[in-house]
Every structure is written in C-alpha cells, then in structure tokens.
Structure 1
C-alpha cells in the first residue's frame, strides 16, 4: 500500500521504517544511503521525501523532562503538540502558542517554521532552547540556543540530520477565550489591518476573497480572569454570542469551543480538537508570507485573482507572527503576515493558479511555508530569503555527502544540487 501524507494528497516514494528508539535511528543512518525524517505527515509537498529511506520518529517514546527552575521541557521530536500540551497543563505549565492543529509533531512543525498566530507571538520554533539530532555519521549531537549556528539549524527542514529530541521554553498555564466576529468588510480590514490582527492574543481571519465581505474573524483572548470583558465590535464586525464558524458545517464538531467560553490554553489556541479529525482532509494547502507592512497591498493584489481562486478554494486564513532571527523562518527579521489557502484536492488546477498568486505577490518579497505546495525555486528564494545561502553553506558543511538532501531541498536552494 502506498503511504500518504495526513490529508491523502501526497504519496511518498520512499519506503518508511518506523523507529522505536533513537538507537534505531542511529543504526539506519549508519547503514548508509540517503535518509530523511518523517513525523506526523502534515507536509503537503515532497519536502520530507527521498530516493532513499524515510524514518518515522513518531514511535519513539516522548520521555518528557520538565525543568521548572529553567522553565523548559524536553520531549521527543515525534510527539504531537496536543499530547505535550496535555502533559504540561496537568503540571501547571504551558507553551507560548500552538498551531491550528494540535495533531502536528513538535519536530516537524518547528523544523518548517510553522507558526500559530499573534502579532507578538513568535513562530513555534522560537520556543526551542536546544536541539538533539542524529548527524550524518550516526552520532547524537546537541546544540543549544546561543551556540554557533543555532539560528541556522532551528528551522532546518531536516536538511542536516534527524531531530530526535527538543527542549522548549514553557510558562505558567493560562486561560483563553475564543470569540467569532462576523461581517467584517474588506474596506475596513484593509484600512487598519493592525487593529484587526491586534484584536487578541491570537487572531485569524477566514475569507474566500470575493465581494465586499472579508469573512469571519476568530479572536483568541488571553485572560487575566475569566470575567474580563472583550469588545463587541472589531472594525465594524460584530461579536457572535454563540458558536459559529466559516469553514464548513461538516467540521463544526471538530473545532475547539467558541462563543467566548473561557478555557485552558490548550483547548482554545488550536482551531481543532486533538480528539477529533483535523480540518477537512482530502485537501491541498499553500501558504505565503509577506511583511506585515506590505500586507494591505499584498491582499489587494490577491483579491484581483478572486475569480480564479474561488472554484478551487475551500477557505483562506490570514494571520500574523512576530519577527525572529532564525535564518529560514518566514518571520526572519520582519515578522510575517500569512496568506494561507486550503484547496480542494484538485492538483492540476491548484498548480495552475499558484504561479498567478506568486506573481501577484512578487513585489512583496514573498516567502513560502516550506511544508506546503508552491512553485517558487532557488532563484526566486535567493531574492526573498536573506540567509538562504548561509543556511545552504551550513548544511553542506554539516552533511557534506548529502545523506539528508533530496530533490526538494535542492530545488529551493536549501542544499546544493547533486
């Protein structure tokens, strides 16, 4: 049986071996040949794939290690965020943010710069305090924040080793409420995007691009107390007093609780519940990042393609993340405004419209989400990813024989062509 990604829309070429221990990973690397890590299979392109062997790290025990004095937790890279979050919350601790899906692995999400949401929240990778990986010789290597080239390895795309454990920053557990604001109009949103994205701790706008109505705004507010007031109006959009969603009735039961009901951070920051099917499935995803300052003009440019986008789109999500210093992060030195597309499973149609979207965003130094479908190549990315050449040189030095390279990494300029 052909193995596929979580959504079923990418078929892996390589055979997949399930590792049960870190020693298994070391043995597979030492056996020779090309090898790549596989987590919870939430990439939508050939980034994880290889002409060698894929090693799944999800079967390795999490082995949580909490250091309350240092405010860190050490965890296996294949662990799902939702599992880690539950373990932390039971002990009174939390992460600074979570992605839309709690089903994604810690290693895969951080290695691709996956981001969650919030003007002042760094991408998930910014929580990393140390990385432990198996290098091209099969040895275990640990690198900590502040050490040479840490910022180059943090969003590493699996390009230099198999990450097996991560140490993340934690903070005391907190409470969040999630409110939906409806009937936001494009003219109001584009006039003051900072007011929209700054309306809460984590904010997402769900849109289908056409018409005057921008869509629904989901605002997640971090609470000092459960009865803290929230505004009834954001840029003319009105707060709904009951749960509602704009991304399909079929998945409504899979969403985390809305309607302003206070709850634990891990049950409000993701859009989807850990114990439910995430998102739609049978979908293709693309995502592009521009600087927040360029976002109004970038959105206007994409809106000119609304008629081309609409026949193939399930929904788009717009959100932000804070600037960081991680070389291959979409938020490197400028923060990010994310323009996300969840497409129907129509590969030819999606690949037909993506170059038009990328052309519309070309004037805004657009960067892609590394794990989602795009058509940008090395030449394109040399212009928009400032540290791409530095990252490539680092990975070539760490893995000179190309054990961890693949066609995708070479195509986007993260590794040299072989």
Structure 2
C-alpha cells in the first residue's frame, strides 16, 4: 500500500489502505465510498494527526499549478503541490509567497491545515496567504470557502484534516523579491533582555535563533534580509549582529550535519524561494532521523519563556539536536496556535530517543504553562487534552463546524477525538 512510516520514521500509520487519486473526480469517488478516511500530506507530521483506521488519501499526484491571476495577484494550486515546486514556478513568473517554512519539501494543503509557519515579525503562518479553499466534504460535495465571503472560512482553513479533503487552494502572491542570508555565531541569551529580543527579531525580514542549550547562548542566528529597491547586492553584509560575529563559512544548524543541505548563506543575495527555507529542496532536510516538538507563546512573554527553558538546560541538552526560536505574526484562524496573538515558536529537534523525550516533555510544558503555551498540532507533546482544549477560544465553534461538514465523523480519527 505504499510507505507506512512518516518521513522521520518515528510513526507507523495504521491505515488499511493508501490511495493516490489523480484528479478531483477520483477524490470524490474515494471519499463517497469510504467509511473512514484521512488526507496524508508529505508525511512531515510526528504524531497521529494524519492517521486513520480506514483509508489514507494522498494528493501526491495532484500537484499542479492551475492558474496564475496577475490582475488579482493570486495563484490556484492543487493541494498536493510542495512549496519548493510552487516557489520555483512563481519566481519564474515574477511572483512570490509572503513566506516559506524551513522545509520546502512540505505540501501546501498539509502545511496550511496544521498551521505550519515560517519566521518574521510581520509574517503570519503559511495559512495567512490563503484566499480560498476547495473542499471535498464527506458526501462528495465540493464547496469553495473564500476569505471575506464565507463565515466558515476562518474556521476551515486550519481545519486539521477534519472537515474534508482540501483539493485546491487559491493563495495570495506578491512581487518576487531577493533575500540575503547571513549566519552569525554565538549570541548570548542576555542580549535578548531589556528589549533586546524585540530589537533582534525585528531587525530583518526573518530571524531564527538556534541553540543546543548546552550554554546560555544561541550558537547560530540566521538573519534573512530582504533586498530593497536600489540596494547594491554586492554590498557586504554586516559582520556584527548584536555582538554575534558573522560566520566565516556556511553552517548547518544541527551539529555534525553537512552544510551542503542548507540554503545559501554568507550574505549572497538570491531569490526568495531559495533563501527563506533553511534547507534545499534536493537534499534531506534537518537531521532526518529525529523527533520534533514545538510550543507557541505570546510574543510579549518570549524572553521569560526562554528563561524558563534555561532552567531545564541540563535535562534538554543531552536529548537535543538543536532548538530554534522564531517569531510569527498573529492570524485569524480559529485553530491556529497564533490565533489573534503575535507569537514566538519554541522548536525542539530531538534525537530519536522517544522514551527519554516523552519523560522530558511534561517538564517543558510545566515550565511554559504560565505563558499558556500552545503545542504545534503536528508535532510531539504530552499535554492533557483538557489543557489543549482550554487554549482555544473558538473550539466550540470549530466542533460545530466539524459536525456541519462531517456529521458522521468520516474524517475524524483518534487524534482529533482525543484533543478536540
């Protein structure tokens, strides 16, 4: 039936069958004939959010760009297209998306449904670009939900796979732009105190802080600056970043991994789709054999949350490949961790020792509890379902949406039953 593991190999799917339709009519036929079904994206989830006891439906073969509307500045795509492929197409046409995640390998529909994000003070998550979605409901009916026109839109975009199959999406595009990426070494945690965090994170289009938590220092800072009109692309990037020195050679955020996997650095300007992701489309992203967790805290509490994590340094460091800190602008999607609040993502890429990580996660969640940290839906967490539910003001509205679009629970699974 095809691959039964997620990309990192830590989760084995329990579905009875994996089907890969080639067009909308095949999707409708599969949905109507199924009792239980879930859409499988690019398998970059670390838990059971995409699993089912019934049929998994992959949109891998539905990966086309359908329309580029230059007048309205939108692009319509099939749900299975990956961001790396879409980025290449858009850039060749003179357009861009407002942001990209660190991995260009992920599918558009899967990333949007789970509130996956990039980085940048002014940049909402990837769902922020969605203008409309085309949804195949449980009865096979196709409905289109559009921003500003449909009251269900803000509940359905980050739908966690529970409303139906998102076969198409229309996304806002912007004029193509260039980015220069510079990595800086050794930024002390204390540099973020007394307003330093805001100054650092707002200093460029996108800023990522990486630490292995062995010391009170960020080992690397990845700074992605947008080239402004008239700016000389040959001008050298600054060698100093709030006391951190520019790296003399290309870096990989995970110690011991080859930097060839990573997007271009050293201040060399390049197109947006080749600089905003941390990793290159044609190479294995991150560490590969890994586990991941991520928690979102309100932007105003970011430094205090980092201080809370610092108290667990000796517990975190031995299990960690790397931790990344990013800022994300607020959005209006009911089930997004960034719903109506500017947020900071505290990300952990763990070594593949699940039993030890499983014991550590409650300690991290306890340390972050004063900040009402919300876990990433598609990653590993230990939070009690009642706690997760308490963090979402529109949860009752979303439950009603699930009943409206899928009254018999065809698209529900153990994950949604547990946490929603």
**TM-score of the superposition, structure 1-length normalised?**
0.96
- Find the partner of 1:195 among 196, 199, 224: 199
- Find the partner of 2:219 among 211, 215, 220: 215
User: What is the Cα deviation at residue 67 of structure 1?
Assistant: 0.1
User: What is the Cα deviation at residue 275 of structure 1?
Assistant: 1.2
> CA-to-partner distance for each residue in 1:346-404, whole Å, 9 max, x for gaps?
11111111111111111101101111011223310232222122212211222110011
- Find the partner of 2:161 among 158, 161, 165: 158
The question of whether the paired residues in 2 share the 8 Å contact of 1:203 and 1:218 is answered with: yes
Corresponding residue of 1:140: 142
| Cα separation, 2, equivalents of 1:32 and 1:250 | 43
| Cα separation, 1, equivalents of 2:24 and 2:235 | 46
- In structure 2, the CA distance between the partners of 1:376 and 1:240, relative to structure 1 (3 Å rule), is same
Corresponding residue of 1:4: 5
Number of corresponding residues: 413
Alignment gaps of 5+ in structure 2: none
Q: Tell me, what secondary structure is at the counterpart of 1:73?
A: strand
The question of whether the paired residues in 2 share the 8 Å contact of 1:189 and 1:235 is answered with: no
Alignment gaps of 5+ in structure 1: 414-418
Q: Tell me, what secondary structure is at the counterpart of 1:220?
A: strand
Alignment of 1:385-396 (within 5 A): 385-396=392-403
User: What is the Cα deviation at residue 228 of structure 1?
Assistant: 5.6
The question of whether the paired residues in 1 share the 8 Å contact of 2:65 and 2:75 is answered with: no
| Cα separation, 2, equivalents of 1:250 and 1:322 | 30
User: What is the Cα deviation at residue 197 of structure 1?
Assistant: 1.1
| Cα separation, 2, equivalents of 1:276 and 1:209 | 26
> CA-to-partner distance for each residue in 1:48-104, whole Å, 9 max, x for gaps?
001111001111241431000000000011100000000111111111000000000
User: What is the Cα deviation at residue 335 of structure 1?
Assistant: 1.4
Corresponding residue of 1:31: 33
Alignment of 1:232 onto 2:239 = yes
The question of whether the paired residues in 2 share the 8 Å contact of 1:121 and 1:322 is answered with: yes
Alignment of 1:367 onto 2:384 = no
User: What is the Cα deviation at residue 235 of structure 1?
Assistant: 2.2
Alignment of 1:250-269 (within 5 A): 250-269=257-276
| Cα separation, 2, equivalents of 1:134 and 1:2 | 24
The question of whether the paired residues in 2 share the 8 Å contact of 1:302 and 1:360 is answered with: yes
Alignment of 1:13-412 (within 5 A): 13-14=14-15, 15-146=17-148, 147-191=150-194, 192-224=196-228, 225=231, 226-227=233-234, 230-412=237-419
Q: Tell me, what secondary structure is at the counterpart of 1:47?
A: helix
| Cα separation, 1, equivalents of 2:329 and 2:65 | 30
- In structure 2, the CA distance between the partners of 1:229 and 1:383, relative to structure 1 (3 Å rule), is farther
> CA-to-partner distance for each residue in 1:89-131, whole Å, 9 max, x for gaps?
1111111000000000000001100010000001000000000
The question of whether the paired residues in 2 share the 8 Å contact of 1:21 and 1:61 is answered with: no
Q: Tell me, what secondary structure is at the counterpart of 1:64?
A: strand
CA RMSD of aligned residues (A): 1.4
Q: Tell me, what secondary structure is at the counterpart of 1:361?
A: helix
Q: Tell me, what secondary structure is at the counterpart of 2:87?
A: helix
The question of whether the paired residues in 2 share the 8 Å contact of 1:377 and 1:411 is answered with: no
User: What is the Cα deviation at residue 231 of structure 1?
Assistant: 3.7
Q: Tell me, what secondary structure is at the counterpart of 1:54?
A: strand
- Higher mean C-alpha deviation, range 379-388 or range 35-44: 379-388
User: What is the Cα deviation at residue 241 of structure 1?
Assistant: 4.3
The question of whether the paired residues in 1 share the 8 Å contact of 2:216 and 2:310 is answered with: no
> CA-to-partner distance for each residue in 1:159-189, whole Å, 9 max, x for gaps?
1101110000001110000001111001112
